[in-house]
Amino acid sequence: MEREIWVAKDSVLRSKEYLHWLAKRMRELGITRMGGFIFLLEHLTEHLQAGGIIRDAKGRIITLGDDAIENAFFGELSFSWHSDFQVFVDRMPMRRAKRRLIPRLILWDAALRIHDRRYY
């Protein structure tokens, strides 16, 4: 049976509430700065290699190239975003995420759905 992951709508991914939840979930799982890269790589790769599919909220298949994670982080391979992002564990963000972060948030949403076995 084909496992399909449907990521949340862009408007949800960019919301303050989602960002707050994501930061808390990352902390719960003990995901560190470099551990975040490994978490994304392992979960997404394993899912796709097992024949799984990732779809956006409109049902379109999302294909991930070899550089999908690097591209989503704009080539910033120290992943300092994760450290900066952790401030949202303790407080709600003041603004929603910028559009340019959507690819990154899609990766996180998909990886966490795979981890939590939330197939839709």
For 90-111, letters b (16+ CB in 10 Å) and e give eeebeeebeeebbbbbbbbbbb
* pLDDT confidence bin for 86, thresholds 50/70/90: confident
**Looking at the predicted structure, is the pLDDT value of residue 100 above 90?**
yes
pTM of the predicted model as reported, rounded to 2 decimal places = 0.89
Give the per-residue pLDDT at 1.
Answer: 40
Average confidence (pLDDT) over 72-77: 74
Average confidence (pLDDT) over 64-90: 81
Spatial contact of 69 and 108, defined as CB atoms under 8 Å apart: no
Which residue, 53, 41, 35, is CA-closest to 107? 41
CA distance 37 to 56: 21
**Looking at the predicted structure, is the pLDDT value of residue 68 above 70?**
yes
Treating both helix axes as pointing N-terminal to C-terminal, what angle do 102-115 and 16-28 enclose, rounded to 10 degrees? 50
Domain positions in the chain: 4-115
